[in-house]
Structure 1
Amino acid sequence: MTPSKKILVIGATGYVGSHLVPNLLALGYQVIATSRSLETLKHHAWHSHPHATLAEVDLMDEGDLSSILESVSEVFYLVHGMASGSDFYQHELNMARHVSNQVAKSNVSRLIYLGATQPSNVCSTHLAARKVTGNILRDCGKQVIELRAGIIIGSGSAAFEVMRDIVSHLPVITTPVWVRSKSSPVALDTMIGYLTKLIELPIEGSPIFDVSGPEIISYEDQMRRFARIINKRIFIVKMPLLTPKISSMWLTLVTTVPKPIASSLIDGLMYDLLPTGKDISTLIPEPQLGFEQAVESALSNESDVVKNDIWGFDPDAIARWHRNYGYYPKHAGFTVETDASAEALWTSIQKVGGDEGYFFGNWLWKIRAYMDAAIGGNALKKRRPQRQSLQTGDYIDSWKVIQCAPNKHLSLLFGMKAPGLGRLEFTVKDLGETRLLDIRAWWHPAGFSGLLYWFAMMPAHLFIFKGMAFALAKSSGAKKTLPSRHT
């Protein structure tokens, strides 16, 4: 292994990419990690590693990548467009085409692409996009090694999180008939092992390999076996009338997986995701983990959800995390565009809580505080630091400051008693002549009760956050404030 070898990871903040990068760094490689958001990259613990370089890259902008590709020997292409909604197919192809064109003009020797298992005779937009993406990348004229995988068992994998949420949240599970579809799930650790070993392995041409685990299991059996692991008794009732559209809406209610990802996921899970070509294990004898072992490994790393900069590596947040909490957070908030200065907005934001209250709807906040006190909480206790400015670690009533970036961002750890873990964020983004002010709650529900709590609070959240945003802007001297049209 060449210690100075430089590796580019496109999609470093995704599920696989965020686990691959630290492994590459541990092996001594220099890594260029890209994402559409530099701030998102900085949330990961490895962002400050001396051999890590962070680069903000939006592949849809079709910008010049020559400076990033300079002296790069291998590229990992780990992006997909499932979160972009109904037009994700063209979105994925456009990104792949841009990268392919840029790599063709570079000195890159090998591109490694993680695609999806391709069953025969299926009509899945998601799976088709993955296949065509591989074809487009091979047009770059460089060596392209494609790995095709089905379900990956690991904390953060959409398919795994859907299964975990369904089992954890519901005692009686009504499912569409696609739960009978079979796959050969592979452990995340095994997948990372394959990817890292492909960097140095001598291979000719641009082959396609399947990645599979040691067992072929239906999605229904995976749910039953997962339930046994967490000591949960479940009943599964299959509903033939649950169409893909209805199924995606249903998943949005009972899981925390974002709707666009859930819809794309169902598109693929309706079919048997079984390997049809040469398995990568014939080339790389990576240790295989059975389903139960893979799940236990995933659950043992669940606290990694809060061991990052988003939660400020706060010990209270880490201690309160439970493996049955939803991995993906629910969120609700409101954004306004205002001419108030960032400094004025920040001065107002720091007055939150205590005798000043919460800018808007204080009677609702008081009702919630009394509800908390009735079950033993301390929300009625007024707390604020003596100084005007806030710092990480400060307490504001039942909240705790876990992130504090002056004029930009304040994050408060939810301290009331409720089924789950949450935070409240105030974010200011400077657009030049105007500022975006966003007030948003994030919630990782604890089982079905956590979901019920979230949906019960949703009307109040939407009402309060809108009022808070306008009131905060007004108190900051704004002459003009409008709902934001920015996305």
Structure 2
Amino acid sequence: MTTKRNDLNRYGKEKILVLGASGYVGSQLIPLLLEQGHCVTAAARQLEYLQARVQPHTNLTTVYLDLVDKEATKNVVSNHDLVYFLVHGMAHGHDFLEYEISLAINFKDALLNSNVKHVVYLSAIQPQTGNSEHLLARKKTGEILKQAEVPVTELRAGVIIGPGSAAFEIMKDFTYNLPILIAPKWVDSKANPIALKNLNHYLLAQLQESPTQSHYYEVGGPDILSYREQFGVICKAIHHPLRLWSTSLLTPKMASYWLGLVTSVPANIGKALLAGLEHDYVADSQEIRKKYPQPLISYQDAVAQSIGAEGEFIRSNIWGFDPAALNRWQAGYGYYPKDAGAKIKTDKTAEELWQVVKQIGSPKEGYFFANILWRTREWLDLFVGGGIPKRRSPAGPELKIGDHIDSWKVIRCEPTQFISLLFGMTAPGLGRLECTIKDHGDYRELDVRAWWHPQGFRGLLYWFAMMPAHLFIFKGMVKAIVKKA
């Protein structure tokens, strides 16, 4: 049973908490909540990523929160009216079922003595057959949250269509990156994916409700399609021929390794999703359609809109809004980047490390380790249509955004903490090199890492060709920087 809200904090505003705000749905939902004038607290473990993806706003507060910390969870949750629980642990690793349950228990305990009147939980459709840990974790989380005696509205969704949705990105990467799609037998399972815009309509509709008891809805799009048919729609949208071969030899475990090679989706997330996609994933969404009517976007239109909006993702602090990065982004680049790097712990101060890091590419220091390999890569540009390498150094004495360092360009710079360089050489993809310094109190951690958004099959080949050099170089770089500091 629910009633409509007519007095949203007297001024038409809710105090809303979004847990899991740095995730795909959370980072897309927050701007919509702010547009409606609500006061939003966005909480996430990956606070830097969240702040890079969501623009500052007078009604937005971002906070670091690890739900493993029971006391911190209670403090953050207590003074909010409504909570969107968008947390999942697929990226945690093989034990994410126990991990998700522990987070749910901590959140449930935090609700017991809080001011929260309503929880909106984004869950997953439960198929009639199969035993996916991902789906089981979603189910058990819902059961635990309802023990807090705060009304929970559970929206059970299947595949979400939009740039950045992991399941959609897996399928898109397959079509872009492989001349022949090799898929497991589950490619003939059926689903009715929902467009992100339609899902957001249902999420926002909950702001008008004051439920007195918990309830769940299944949410899905208007079209029921097999994954084979979905691949066909994606191929048509990007003007690729559909060449798909499904085989039972590709077991779920083998498929997860295969996925890790040919897509940019993080392996842990991809493996968990694959287990769920083995089953029919069709939502019975008649109830929620009647209660919150809206025009439902067809699968074909959702795919076309998502592919058309691919480039919007890089308009964020991740790329520093750099015009060169925006201009170079092309359809078909992997949404999720491949990465390779190295970390090292040290008792050197952040300032001591920064004094070395900021000299990267200088005539004196070069790249701190294996400079001959860096220079060789620059000259290889001549063979793939690039120009003669340019030796450029910042005017100094401090680095600033826009500085050129040889073939690189500074696109983000936070002294003593972080620097990001845009890859300027010719290659099938878009990349950046980052140096991050984190102060953990009794020690500092230096991370040097390359990020690469491959452009199709050639972009993947390039990345794997560079991998041995990356593993060798970055381990040497972090050690050399610490030694020089």
Mark yes or no: TM-score above 0.5. yes
Residue 441 (structure 1) aligned with residue 456 (structure 2):
no
Partner SS state of residue 120, structure 1:
coil
User: Alignment partner for residue 117 of structure 1, among 122, 125, 129?
Assistant: 125
CA offsets 1:9-36 (integer angstroms, 9 cap, x no match): 1011101000000000001111010001
Q: In 2, Cα distance between the equivalents of 1:387 and 1:261? A: 42
Residue 138 (structure 1) aligned with residue 146 (structure 2):
yes
Hey, what does 2:62 align to over in structure 1? 54
Residue 343 (structure 1) aligned with residue 351 (structure 2):
yes
Partner SS state of residue 385, structure 2:
coil
In structure 2, the gaps of 5 or more residues are 1-5
Hey, what does 2:85 align to over in structure 1? 77
CA 1:277–1:128: 2 relative to 1, 3 Å: farther
Hey, what does 2:73 align to over in structure 1? 65
Hey, what does 1:384 align to over in structure 2? 393
Structure 2 counterparts to residues 285-300 of structure 1, below 5 A: 285-300=293-308
Hey, what does 2:480 align to over in structure 1? 471
Q: Is the 8 A contact 1:33 1:52 kept in 2?
A: yes
Hey, what does 2:248 align to over in structure 1? 240
CA offsets 1:245-295 (integer angstroms, 9 cap, x no match): 000000000100111111100110000001257541121002200011111
Q: In 2, Cα distance between the equivalents of 1:326 and 1:240? A: 27
Q: Is the 8 A contact 1:194 1:286 kept in 2?
A: no
Between stretches 99-108 and 265-274, larger displacement belongs to: 99-108
Q: Is the 8 A contact 1:378 1:398 kept in 2?
A: no
Q: Is the 8 A contact 2:325 2:422 kept in 1?
A: yes
CA offsets 1:69-116 (integer angstroms, 9 cap, x no match): 343111100010000111000111111111111112112111000100
Q: Is the 8 A contact 2:433 2:450 kept in 1?
A: yes
Q: CA deviation at 1:225?
A: 0.8
Q: In 2, Cα distance between the equivalents of 1:437 and 1:275? A: 46
Structure 2 counterparts to residues 318-467 of structure 1, below 5 A: 318-356=326-364, 357-378=366-387, 380-467=389-476
Hey, what does 1:223 align to over in structure 2? 231
Hey, what does 1:479 align to over in structure 2? none
Structure 2 counterparts to residues 122-271 of structure 1, below 5 A: 122-201=130-209, 203-271=211-279
CA 1:379–1:153: 2 relative to 1, 3 Å: farther
CA 1:379–1:473: 2 relative to 1, 3 Å: farther
Hey, what does 1:482 align to over in structure 2? none
Letter paired with 2:277: L
Q: CA deviation at 1:388?
A: 2.2
Q: Is the 8 A contact 1:119 1:276 kept in 2?
A: no
Q: CA deviation at 1:421?
A: 0.4
Residue 313 (structure 1) aligned with residue 321 (structure 2):
yes
Q: In 1, Cα distance between the equivalents of 2:388 and 2:214? A: 60
Q: CA deviation at 1:472?
A: 1.2
Letter paired with 2:353: L
Q: Is the 8 A contact 2:20 2:44 kept in 1?
A: yes
Q: CA deviation at 1:124?
A: 1.2
Between stretches 329-338 and 297-306, larger displacement belongs to: 297-306
Q: In 2, Cα distance between the equivalents of 1:421 and 1:444? A: 5
Q: Report % sequence identity.
A: 46
Q: Is the 8 A contact 1:438 1:469 kept in 2?
A: yes
Partner SS state of residue 155, structure 1:
coil
Q: In 2, Cα distance between the equivalents of 1:86 and 1:12? A: 23
CA 1:378–1:473: 2 relative to 1, 3 Å: farther
Q: TM-score, normalised by structure 2?
A: 0.95
Partner SS state of residue 311, structure 1:
coil
Hey, what does 1:480 align to over in structure 2? none
CA 1:379–1:24: 2 relative to 1, 3 Å: farther
Letter paired with 1:330: K
Q: CA deviation at 1:300?
A: 2.6
Hey, what does 1:483 align to over in structure 2? none
Q: In 2, Cα distance between the equivalents of 1:182 and 1:245? A: 21
* Moved segments of 4+, more than 4 Å: none
Q: CA deviation at 1:63?
A: 2.4
Q: In 1, Cα distance between the equivalents of 2:387 and 2:65? A: 44
Partner SS state of residue 466, structure 1:
helix
In structure 1, the gaps of 5 or more residues are 477-487
Q: In 2, Cα distance between the equivalents of 1:363 and 1:403? A: 26
Q: Is the 8 A contact 1:350 1:388 kept in 2?
A: no
Q: Tell me the matched-pair count.
A: 475
User: Alignment partner for residue 303 of structure 1, among 299, 311, 324?
Assistant: 311
Q: CA deviation at 1:301?
A: 2.4
Residue 38 (structure 1) aligned with residue 50 (structure 2):
no
Q: Is the 8 A contact 2:125 2:156 kept in 1?
A: yes
Hey, what does 1:283 align to over in structure 2? 291
Q: In 2, Cα distance between the equivalents of 1:385 and 1:330? A: 28
CA offsets 1:115-149 (integer angstroms, 9 cap, x no match): 00011132111111111111111111011000101
Hey, what does 1:22 align to over in structure 2? 31
CA 1:43–1:379: 2 relative to 1, 3 Å: farther
Between stretches 403-412 and 61-70, larger displacement belongs to: 61-70
Between stretches 62-71 and 105-114, larger displacement belongs to: 62-71
